[in-house]
């Protein structure tokens, strides 16, 4: 069995219906070393959290689908994930209501991006005072022809498994399309090298569901492809 480990990079879920604001905050947090994902409706949050893990939720109050206050109350019935509320409501009673609904911190708009990053760091430091150990990012079991990405079993075809297994087993090594064809088809059939591009595209799509912004299979212009450690 082949395992690829990676240091834990905390994940922050940003729930904000102002798309541009969400993108700017995500950019600041990524530069600070966090993974991020943005949602723009309140009713998307609980289904997303049922499938994915996050270490902190930045939650706007005025959201379509379900408002942030009600969402935070629902979230608290099933999770202790820290919540940082961010809203234009500045009255004391609104701040108190937000904290009483289960939020760990409350910041008023417009806010400083650097302050938001500092607040995120402070909340996560309180929530996880001890540095986490490396986790298994990819787990390849050749006997079962299975690959797990951050614990999730990837639905791979036999050809996709052979290609991904070969790339993972030789990290940072660049393989030409012809070399990868020899890996996935051992009968030396006549197949266009563009077939490799199609399989790579499918693998990237399946890996992206688990690794967000990380592109693990890199194109090397004029040569082929290589696998980069996450």
Residue 158 lies in a domain: yes
pTM: 0.56
Residue 219's CATH number: 1.10.10.10
Q: Say how many C-beta atoms besides its own lie within 10 A of residue 105's C-beta.
A: 18
Whether the pLDDT of residue 200 is over 50: the answer is yes
Residue 14 burial by CB count (10 A; 0-12/13-18/19+): exposed, middle or buried? buried
Distances (CA, A) of 147 to 29, 168, 179, 185, 196: 30, 10, 22, 19, 19
Range of the domain at 13: 2-127
Distance (Å, rounded) from C-alpha 24 to C-alpha 16?
11
Q: Looking at the structure, do residues 94 and 149 belong to the same domain, yes or no?
A: no
Confidence of residue 99 (pLDDT cuts 50, 70, 90): low
Mean pLDDT of all residues belonging to the chain: 85
Distance (Å, rounded) from C-alpha 106 to C-alpha 85?
5
Whether the pLDDT of residue 189 is over 70: the answer is no
State what percent of residues in the chain have pLDDT above 90: 46
230 vs 108: which has the higher pLDDT: 108
Q: Say how many C-beta atoms besides its own lie within 10 A of residue 85's C-beta.
A: 27
Q: Looking at the structure, do residues 167 and 120 belong to the same domain, yes or no?
A: no
Query: Strand 146-149 and strand 135-141: pairing?
Result: antiparallel
Domain boundary among the residues 96, 127, 158 is at 127
Task: Report the pLDDT averaged over residues 195-219.
Answer: 87
């Amino acid at each position: 069995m082949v395992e690829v480990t990676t240091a834990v990079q905390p994940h922050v879920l940003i729930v904000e219906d102002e798309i541009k604001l969400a993108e700017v905050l995500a950019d600041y947090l990524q530069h600070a070393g966090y993974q991020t994902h943005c949602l723009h409706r309140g009713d998307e949050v609980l289904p997303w959290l049922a499938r994915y893990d996050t270490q902190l939720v930045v939650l706007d109050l005025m959201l379509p689908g379900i408002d942030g206050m009600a969402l935070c109350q629902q979230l608290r019935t099933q999770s202790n994930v820290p919540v940082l509320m961010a809203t234009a409501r500045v009255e004391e009673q609104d701040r108190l209501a937000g904290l009483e609904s289960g939020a760990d911190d409350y910041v008023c708009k417009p806010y400083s991006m650097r302050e938001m990053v500092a607040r995120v760091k402070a909340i996560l430091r309180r929530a996880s005072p001890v540095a986490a150990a490396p986790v298994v990012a990819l787990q390849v079991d050749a006997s079962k022809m299975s690959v797990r990405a951050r614990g999730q079993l990837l639905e791979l075809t036999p050809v996709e498994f052979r290609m991904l297994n070969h790339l993972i087993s030789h990290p940072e090594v660049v393989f030409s399309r012809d070399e990868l064809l020899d890996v996935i088809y051992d009968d030396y059939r006549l197949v266009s090298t563009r077939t490799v591009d199609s399989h790579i595209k499918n693998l990237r799509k399946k890996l992206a569901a688990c690794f967000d912004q990380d592109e693990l299979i890199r194109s090397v212009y004029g040569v082929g492809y290589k696998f980069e450690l996450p």
